[in-house]
């Protein structure tokens, strides 16, 4: 079998600035052999075809390279014990391989050692040769000194605090104009700005109204008061749980007063789970929050069906013409203490 290129959590720009190829094909039953490269990636059915995305077609025009994207669903991919051996593919995007798996594939010659092609990747080479950032090269190298994958390197704080809370201000405006605001929540239209501070009980009451009343422009069967992706590395429910005074993350493990602490042993964690169960029973949280993939969450959010959602940014969740509909909230105030809490993730 020919060697292939592996991209683990690689950013889209990797194809343009590092490897220099992208998409020119269109969706359909085209023969992948007609293209310069065939790339396998994980994509759910609800996500748009990469072969038609403007960013890739523009990169194809700029580079003169023709890439054809082929797909597995997350279930198909996770059930394949040896995706590198799939016939006809040249690379895997978002492979999700462990360091050990990359090393084993590399030493057996089944994937390309990317560092052998540094002269063809001047931008990537410049990063690795920066004397002040040798930590990047060290993070990428396998025990044999080769680099077999191109992971994302993030230094903006996204990994540490990946759960910002966004509220659909246009839905709240409808409640205000219809005199449907819940009792005890005194908001005016001019209050609906980024940085709005709400108590958890106020937020819950607003979600309850979202669930009960008709929202213009939104099909009732598609309406989702609060959306997130349970257990995902970003956009999960951790900060909702944290609002009860426990610094939650998806591993339930954090440092409190210089001691490793398991959040699920905290009484506040149990209080949060009981309250979330009530939110679920009231229809404020849908069952999809606990079963959907990240891609499914993003695809469903494009048409503005979320009353509120957790994510790092709204730009990837809702379509461009709907982004002004949402504001970012401060962390919810705990009603018992009137304090704000957020969780710190253990992501690298």
pLDDT digits (tens, 9 = 90+) for 129-180: 999 999 888 888 999 999 999 877 777 777 889 999 999 999 999 999 999 9
Q: What is the pLDDT, as a whole number, of residue 203?
A: 98
Taking only the tens place, the pLDDT of each residue in 313-332 is 999 999 999 999 999 999 99
Whether 20 shows a pLDDT value over 50: the answer reads no
Q: What is the 3-state secondary structure (H, E, C) of 238-275?
A: HHHHHCCCCCCCCCCEEEECCEEEEHHHCHHHHHHHHH
pLDDT category at 28 given cuts 50, 70, 90 is very low
Residue 194 pLDDT exceeds 60: yes
Per-residue pLDDT of 112-143, as tens digits, reads 999 999 998 899 999 999 999 998 888 889 99
List the one residue out of 339, 74, 187 whose CA is nearest residue 83.
74
Average pLDDT of the chain to the nearest whole number: 88
Whether 29 shows a pLDDT value over 60: the answer reads no
pLDDT at 101: 92
Query: What share of the chain in percent tops pLDDT 70?
Result: 90
- pLDDT-derived band at 3 (thresholds 50, 70, 90) equals low
Question: Is 88 a residue whose pLDDT tops 60?
Answer: yes
Q: What is the pLDDT of residue 2?
A: 54
pLDDT digits (tens, 9 = 90+) for 246-285: 999 999 999 988 999 999 999 999 999 999 999 999 999 9
Report helix, strand or coil for 99.
helix
Share of the chain above pLDDT 90, in %: 67
Top-confidence residue, 7 or 47 = 47
Supply the pLDDT for residue 96. Answer: 86
Token pair of 299 as six digits: 């695809």
What is the C-alpha separation between 312 and 324, in angstroms, rounded? 16
Cβ–Cβ < 8 Å for 343, 255: no
Residues 288-312 have pLDDT tens digits of 999 998 889 999 999 999 999 999 9
User: What confidence score (pLDDT) does residue 24 get?
Assistant: 25
Mean pLDDT on 99-121: 92
Q: How far apart are the first and last CA of the chain?
A: 34
Chain centroid to CA 149: how far?
Answer: 20
């Amino acid at each position: 079998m020919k060697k292939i290129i592996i991209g683990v959590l690689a950013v889209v720009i990797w194809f343009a600035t590092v490897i220099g190829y992208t998409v020119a094909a269109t969706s359909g039953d085209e023969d992948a052999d007609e293209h310069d490269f065939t790339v396998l990636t994980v994509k759910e059915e609800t996500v748009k075809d990469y072969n038609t995305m403007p960013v890739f077609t523009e990169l194809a025009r700029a580079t003169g390279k023709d890439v054809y994207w082929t797909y597995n669903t997350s279930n198909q991919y996770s059930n394949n014990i040896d995706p590198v051996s799939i016939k006809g593919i040249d690379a895997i995007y978002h492979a999700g391989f462990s360091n050990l798996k990359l090393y084993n594939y590399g030493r057996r010659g089944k994937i390309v050692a990317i560092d052998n092609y540094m002269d063809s990747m001047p931008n990537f080479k410049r990063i690795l040769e920066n004397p002040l950032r040798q930590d990047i090269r060290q993070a990428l190298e396998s025990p044999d000194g080769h680099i077999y994958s191109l992971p994302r390197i993030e230094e903006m704080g996204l990994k540490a605090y990946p759960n910002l809370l966004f509220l659909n201000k246009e839905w709240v405006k409808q409640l205000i104009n219809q005199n449907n605001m819940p009792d005890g929540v005194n908001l005016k239209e001019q209050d609906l700005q980024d940085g709005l501070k709400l108590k958890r009980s106020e937020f819950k009451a607003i979600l309850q109204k979202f669930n009960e009343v008709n929202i213009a422009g939104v099909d009732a069967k598609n309406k989702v008061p609060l959306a997130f992706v349970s257990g995902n590395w970003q956009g999960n429910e951790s900060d909702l749980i944290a609002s009860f005074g426990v610094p939650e993350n998806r591993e339930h493990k954090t440092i409190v007063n210089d001691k490793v602490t398991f959040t699920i042993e905290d009484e506040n964690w149990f209080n949060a789970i009981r309250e979330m169960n009530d939110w679920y029973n009231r229809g404020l949280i849908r069952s999809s929050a606990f079963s959907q993939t990240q891609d499914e969450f993003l695809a469903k959010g494009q048409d503005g069906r979320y009353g509120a959602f957790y994510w790092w940014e709204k730009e990837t969740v809702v379509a461009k013409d709907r982004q002004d509909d949402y504001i970012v909230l401060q962390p919810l105030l705990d009603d018992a203490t009137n304090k704000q809490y957020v969780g710190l993730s253990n992501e690298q």
